[in-house]
């Protein structure tokens, strides 16, 4: 390493994507600094806070909320101006947002990369499934994914494994809890395609982490580390010599007159400012904070696409009371998926979907509802026992096309505790393609309720997980922010990783794809320096 620079590579953000990239670069002998806005927090502290929180439902609940690096739901931080509250739920601490994820690790399908060519909607990716396939395999090994080797995950009735894989899952799929066994039997008989969800969760001891014990608190925290999160690679990075610097809020990426990035500037919690130089830079601050940083720095935006195409996978939830006892809440939260529309000609007209029979423990929700109705004493006890055994929660995430008007911008009136403009999210969930997909979801819910003899329904509720698209990948610098290797079109030594680079959302969770892309980008950085 030359003494001309503080590091060969500076990575901003120690979530799964930044930490995977830092680890790969550090392992290859590069001098890497990993800058993280939030603090280091040991798992036991998060678990203790979760145990002591009376309301368990907020995934962000047990995580630090510092004034210098606010998380998404910090009071007065993120402003929403669209007709739909997007509520992008993200964390700021070493390891990032996967601390409270469910761990679903699907690969995209080959067709997901060719949406415009095949179905005339959205965009084509500038890379193919085949380009990414080896990196999917590497990401599955790094994260420790357990999954079904022989499943047709396209749910289109293909014989054998699909999408094609050159390597097996590192671990076998976990056994299903009772409710999922019943759901498998009933839904399969009705013609739905049921799949054991591939997850970054240990079905045997793996990578010095234990086997899943079925504690069912995956979201917001796995108490024993059987579920992967980004801190695994943040700390592995340190072990291979990467310098992990916490409480370092990067607020500016500095370019020289020729467009080459020369430094990043960060603030410490006391407001002091620091500058670090490197040969190459990787931004990994996730889908709201990465565009915010680029906009604050006024770089990488000749296309005017930074912050635009903000997308997610709008996810509806509905509960039913089934006629039989299913006993949800045993085992991990998302052991199973069923597909009715993952891929096919229908995608010309409507969004693809992924349905889940959710396995969250329902007891606190049920008790709260009954108490609100004034039910107490032995009757309350009896009703909790009955309803907690019979409740079935369905959730469905929908593909959502990126639209330039859905976007992240900077506030012109508000600043955070460090004096930096706060992020503004503008999101309207009114896309006709998505709405047509949702109509299909309503039909599926009706049918599933009938199959389980359900009578009572709760109102539908929505969340918007899997924020993505705000620094979109494309071949054309006029309509995208990064090239097929994650390099900013405008700057030869600036790279961006995270779900924010995904060209389209697909019908499945994005993080495995983002992780595979991050490893591919890390290789591109290695070749460039
Ligand atoms: C409730 C929930 C469940 C989910 N479940 C799944 C799932 O089952 N499967 C799936 O695929 N995806 C899931 N996701 C999405 C998944 O969590 C994200 O895709 C993933 O965390 C993105 O990784 P990342 O590394 O890009 O960002 P993050 O994990 O958010 O990491 C970004 C890091 O950058 C740091 N940072 C931010 N700003 C700065 C700055 N200015 N300077 C320095 N550092 C900064 C942050 O502190 C953070 O540590 C879920 C999300 C939620 C909210
Ligand atoms: S079920 Fe429990 S042990 Fe298994 S991953 Fe979830 S929280 Fe961890």
How many angstroms does the Cα of residue 297 sit away from the middle of ligand 1?
21
State whether the beta carbon of 473 lies less than 6 angstroms from ligand 1: no
Average pLDDT over residues 245-268: 98
Residue 480 C-alpha from the chain's centroid:
21
Residue 320: strand, helix, or coil: strand
56 contact partners, CB below 8 Å, separation of at least 6: 50, 217, 220, 364
How many angstroms does the Cα of residue 59 sit away from the middle of ligand 2?
14
Inter-CA distances, 233 with 12, 149, 488, Å: 14, 25, 24
- Best substitution site from 43, 101, 205, 216 to test ligand 2's pocket, by max atoms within 8 Å of Cβ? 216
The tokens describing 255, both together, are: 């370019």
Inter-CA distances, 325 with 215, 334, 365, Å: 20, 19, 17
361 vs 366: CA distance, rounded Å = 10
Ligand 2 nearest atom to the CA of residue 331, by list position: 1
How many angstroms does the Cα of residue 356 sit away from the middle of ligand 2?
17
How many angstroms does the Cα of residue 215 sit away from the middle of ligand 2?
5
Inter-CA distances, 103 with 199, 220, 333, Å: 5, 11, 9
- Tell me if 183 sits within 8 A of 195, measured CB to CB: no
Look at residue 2 in the predicted model and tell me its pLDDT. Answer: 54
The tokens describing 273, both together, are: 């400012």
Angle in degrees, 0-180, between the axes of helices 178-189 and 432-451, rounded to the nearest 10: 100
**pLDDT tens column, 2-56:** 579 999 999 999 999 999 999 999 999 999 999 999 999 999 999 999 999 877 7
State whether the beta carbon of 92 lies less than 6 angstroms from ligand 1: yes
Look at residue 392 in the predicted model and tell me its pLDDT. Answer: 95
State whether the beta carbon of 249 lies less than 6 angstroms from ligand 1: yes
Average pLDDT over residues 238-252: 98
Instruction: Establish whether 466 is a catalytic residue.
Output: yes
Secondary structure letter of residue 176 according to DSSP:
P
Which residue, 215, 200, 207, is CA-closest to 169? 200
**Which numbered ligand comes closest to the C-alpha of 73?**
1
49 vs 388: CA distance, rounded Å = 25
**Which numbered ligand comes closest to the C-alpha of 497?**
1
- pLDDT tier at 215 (50, 70, 90 boundaries)? confident
Average pLDDT over residues 420-426: 98
Average pLDDT over residues 150-165: 93
* Bridge partners of residue 201, in order along the sequence: 227
Secondary structure letter of residue 36 according to DSSP:
-
**pLDDT tens column, 87-144:** 999 999 999 999 999 999 999 999 999 999 999 999 999 999 999 999 999 999 999 9
187 vs 382: CA distance, rounded Å = 30
249 contact partners, CB below 8 Å, separation of at least 6: 37, 68, 69, 266, 267, 268, 418, 420
Mean pLDDT of the chain: 96
Annotated catalytic residue within 355, 466, 489, 491: 466
Burial class (CB within 10 angstroms; exposed 0-12, middle 13-18, buried 19+) of 527: exposed
141 vs 507: CA distance, rounded Å = 23
Residue 329: strand, helix, or coil: coil
Look at residue 218 in the predicted model and tell me its pLDDT. Answer: 92
481 vs 378: CA distance, rounded Å = 61
**pLDDT tens column, 428-476:** 999 999 999 999 999 999 999 999 999 878 899 999 999 999 999 999 9
**pLDDT tens column, 470-495:** 999 999 999 999 999 999 999 999 99
CA atoms within 13 A on the CB side of 275: 8
- Protein residue with least CA distance to atom 2, ligand 2: 215
Inter-CA distances, 74 with 63, 88, 406, 523, Å: 11, 12, 22, 36
Q: HEC profile for 406-462?
A: CEEEEEEEEECCCCCEEEEEECCCCCHHHHHHHHHHHHHHHHHHHHCCCCCECCCEE
Angle in degrees, 0-180, between the axes of helices 377-390 and 363-372, rounded to the nearest 10: 140
**Which numbered ligand comes closest to the C-alpha of 105?**
1
Residue 18: strand, helix, or coil: helix
429 vs 447: CA distance, rounded Å = 25
Which residue, 42, 135, 55, is CA-closest to 522? 135
- Best substitution site from 103, 207, 210, 217 to test ligand 2's pocket, by max atoms within 8 Å of Cβ? 217
Q: Name the percent of the chain lying above pLDDT 70.
A: 100
pLDDT at residue 423 above 70? yes
The tokens describing 142, both together, are: 């790094």
Which element (helix H / strand E) includes 262? strand 261-267
pLDDT at residue 1 above 90? no
- pLDDT tier at 244 (50, 70, 90 boundaries)? very high
Neighbouring CB atoms inside 10 A of 366's CB total 20
35 vs 390: CA distance, rounded Å = 47
Average pLDDT over residues 195-222: 95
- Protein residue with least CA distance to atom 48, ligand 1: 96
**pLDDT tens column, 354-410:** 999 999 888 888 999 999 999 999 999 999 999 999 999 999 999 999 999 999 999
Secondary structure letter of residue 253 according to DSSP:
E
**pLDDT tens column, 325-344:** 999 999 999 899 999 999 99
Strands 353-358 and 391-398: antiparallel
How many angstroms does the Cα of residue 470 sit away from the middle of ligand 1?
14
How many angstroms does the Cα of residue 286 sit away from the middle of ligand 1?
6
The tokens describing 284, both together, are: 């990994």
């Amino acid at each position: 390493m030359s003494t001309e620079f503080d590091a060969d590579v500076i990575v901003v953000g120690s979530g799964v994507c930044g930490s995977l990239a830092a680890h790969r670069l550090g392992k290859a002998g590069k001098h890497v600094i990993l800058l993280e806005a939030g603090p280091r927090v040991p798992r036991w502290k998060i678990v203790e806070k979760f145990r002591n929180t009376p309301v368990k439902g907020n995934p962000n609940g047990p995580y630090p909320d510092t004034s210098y690096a606010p998380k998404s739901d910090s009071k007065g931080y993120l402003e929403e101006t669209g007709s739909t509250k997007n509520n992008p739920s993200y964390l700021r601490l070493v390891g990032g947002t996967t601390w409270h994820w469910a761990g679903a690790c699907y690969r995209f399908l080959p067709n997901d990369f060719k949406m415009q060519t095949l179905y005339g909607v959205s965009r084509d990716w500038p890379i193919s499934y085949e380009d990414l396939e080896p990196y999917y395999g590497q990401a599955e090994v790094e994260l420790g994914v357990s999954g079904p080797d022989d499943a047709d995950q396209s749910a289109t009735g293909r014989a054998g494994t699909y999408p094609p894989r050159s390597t097996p899952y590192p671990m076998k799929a976990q056994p299903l809890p009772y409710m999922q066994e019943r759901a498998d039997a009933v839904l399969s008989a009705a013609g739905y395609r049921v799949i054991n969800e591939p997850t970054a969760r240990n079905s045997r001891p793996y990578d010095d982490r234990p086997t899943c014990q079925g504690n069912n608190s995956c979201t917001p925290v796995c108490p024993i580390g059987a579920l992967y999160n980004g801190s695994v690679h943040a700390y592995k990075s340190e072990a291979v010599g990467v310098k992990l610097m916490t409480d370092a809020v990067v607020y500016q990426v500095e370019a020289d007159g020729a467009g080459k990035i020369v430094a990043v500037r960060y603030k410490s919690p006391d407001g002091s400012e620091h500058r670090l130089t490197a040969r190459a830079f990787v931004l990994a601050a996730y889908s709201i904070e990465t565009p915010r940083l680029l906009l604050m720095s006024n770089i990488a935006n000749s296309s005017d696409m930074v912050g635009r195409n903000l997308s997610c996978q709008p996810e509806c939830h509905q509960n039913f009371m089934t006629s039989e006892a299913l006993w949800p809440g045993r085992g991990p939260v998302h052991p199973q998926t069923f597909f009715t529309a993952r891929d096919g000609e229908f995608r010309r007209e409507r969004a693809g979907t992924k349905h889940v029979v959710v396995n969250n423990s329902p007891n606190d929700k049920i008790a709260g509802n009954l108490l609100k109705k004034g039910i107490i004493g032995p009757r309350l006890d009896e009703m909790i026992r009955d309803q907690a055994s019979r409740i079935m929660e369905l959730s469905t995430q929908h593909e959502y096309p990126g639209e330039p008007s859905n976007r992240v911008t900077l506030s012109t009136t508000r600043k955070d505790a460090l004096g930096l403009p706060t992020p503004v999210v503008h999101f309207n969930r009114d896309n006709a393609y998505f709405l047509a997909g949702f109509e299909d979801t309503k039909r599926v819910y009706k049918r599933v309720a009938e199959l389980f003899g359900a009578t009572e329904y709760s109102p539908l509720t929505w969340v918007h997980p899997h924020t993505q698209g705000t620094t979109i990948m494309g071949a054309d610098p006029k309509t995208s922010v990064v090239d097929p290797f994650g390099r900013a079109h405008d700057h030869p030594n600036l790279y961006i990783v995270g779900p924010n680079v995904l060209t389209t959302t697909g019908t499945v969770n994005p993080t495995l794809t983002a992780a595979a892309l991050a490893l591919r980008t890390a290789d591109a950085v290695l070749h460039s320096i």
